[in-house]
C-alpha cells in the first residue's frame, strides 16, 4: 500500500488518518462534515485506488483560501504519518520560509511532494521550491494519461478535469499526476523518488508543452 497525503478541503469517506489545521494552523480533530466545499473529496476520488491509503490534512474551511503556516503544519503531520506522496493542489503567491522549510523536510525524508503549477501567470508556491514535483493540467491527456512537459513552470501534466467535469484546472492535473506516481510506486515499492519520476517520464503519453491555439 502507498500512503498518499492530501492537503486540501478535507475528504468525505474512509481515510487512514485525518487532521484539521484549517482554522488556526494547529492540529485539531477533523470536524463534521469534513469537506465543506467538496474540492478535496473530488481530488481524493482521482487518487483513490486499492493500492492507496489516503491521509486527510484539512487546510481549507468553506473557501479555497489558506496560509503558508497551515500548509506547513499539514505537511509536517503527513511526514509523521509516513506519507509516501503528498498532493498539494494549491498555489500561494508569496514565498514563505515556513512553507519552504516544510517542503524541504518532506523531500529530505524521501517524500514525493506534488504541487499544482499554473499554466500561465506568475510562479506560485510550493511548486516553485526545489525538489517539489511541478504538475499542471494538460488538455491533451485523457483520464489515466500523463504528459512530460519539460518546462520550467511544470514538469508533468495530467487530465485537466475530473470524471463528471465539475472540477477543472491545474489542481485536477496535479491530482492525476499524483495518482500516476502512486500507481508506479505500488508496482515498484523500492523505487527512489528519482526512479519514480524517471518511470513517469517513460510512460508519459505526450512529451513537450501543450500548444494552445489563439
Q: Which tens digit of pLDDT belongs to each residue from 166-202?
A: 899 999 999 999 999 999 999 999 999 999 999 999 9
Q: Please report how many Cα atoms fall inside a 13 Å half-sphere around the Cα of residue 93, on the Cβ side.
A: 3
- On the 0-12 / 13-18 / 19+ scale of CB atoms within 10 A, 75 is buried
Higher pLDDT, 28 or 172: 172
pLDDT at 213 over 60: no
Terminal alpha carbon distance of the chain: 44
Written as nine digits, the cell of 193 is 523518488
pLDDT for 29: 83
Sheet holding 17-20, edge to edge: 17-20, 52-58, 2-8, 85-88, 112-116, 133-137, 156-158, 146-148, 206-207
Higher pLDDT, 134 or 28: 134
pLDDT for 168: 93
**Cα 57–Cα 61–Cα 62 angle in degrees, nearest 5:** 140
Written as nine digits, the cell of 38 is 467538496
| Cβ 126 vs Cβ 186: under 8 Å | no
d(CA 181, CA 169): 19
Strand bridging mode 146-148 / 17-20: unpaired
| Cβ 60 vs Cβ 53: under 8 Å | no
For residue 34, what are the β-bridge partners? none
* Longest Cα separation, the chain: 48
Mean pLDDT on 26-51: 90
Mean pLDDT on 70-74: 96
- Domain range 2-207, CATH class: alpha beta
pLDDT for 212: 57
The predicted-structure confidence for 83-102, as pLDDT tens digits, reads as follows 999 999 999 999 999 999 99
> Domain segments of the chain: what residues?
2-207
pLDDT at 205 over 60: yes
Q: Is 175 left (phi over 0), alpha (psi -120 to 50) or beta?
A: alpha
pLDDT for 139: 95
Written as nine digits, the cell of 24 is 488556526
Amino acid at each position: 500500500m502507498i500512503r498518499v497525503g492530501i492537503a486540501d478541503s478535507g475528504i468525505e469517506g474512509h481515510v487512514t488518518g485525518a487532521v484539521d489545521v484549517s482554522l488556526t494552523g494547529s492540529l485539531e480533530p477533523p470536524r463534521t462534515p469534513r469537506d465543506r466545499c467538496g474540492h478535496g473529496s473530488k481530488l481524493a476520488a482521482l487518487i483513490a485506488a486499492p493500492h492507496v491509503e489516503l491521509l486527510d490534512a484539512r487546510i481549507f474551511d468553506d473557501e479555497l483560501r489558506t496560509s503558508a503556516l497551515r500548509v506547513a503544519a499539514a505537511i509536517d503531520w503527513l511526514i509523521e504519518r509516513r506519507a509516501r506522496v503528498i498532493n498539494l493542489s494549491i498555489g500561494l503567491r508569496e514565498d514563505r520560509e515556513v512553507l519552504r522549510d516544510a517542503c524541504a523536510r518532506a523531500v529530505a525524508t524521501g517524500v514525493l511532494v506534488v504541487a499544482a503549477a499554473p499554466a500561465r501567470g506568475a510562479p506560485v508556491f510550493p511548486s516553485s521550491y526545489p525538489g517539489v514535483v511541478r504538475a499542471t493540467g494538460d488538455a491533451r491527456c485523457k483520464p489515466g494519461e500523463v504528459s512530460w512537459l519539460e518546462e520550467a513552470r511544470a514538469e508533468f501534466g495530467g487530465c485537466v478535469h475530473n470524471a463528471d467535469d465539475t472540477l477543472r484546472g491545474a489542481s485536477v492535473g496535479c491530482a492525476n499526476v499524483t495518482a500516476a506516481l502512486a500507481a508506479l510506486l505500488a508496482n515498484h515499492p523500492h523505487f527512489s523518488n528519482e526512479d519514480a519520476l524517471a518511470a513517469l517520464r517513460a510512460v508519459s503519453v505526450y512529451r513537450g508543452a501543450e500548444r494552445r491555439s489563439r
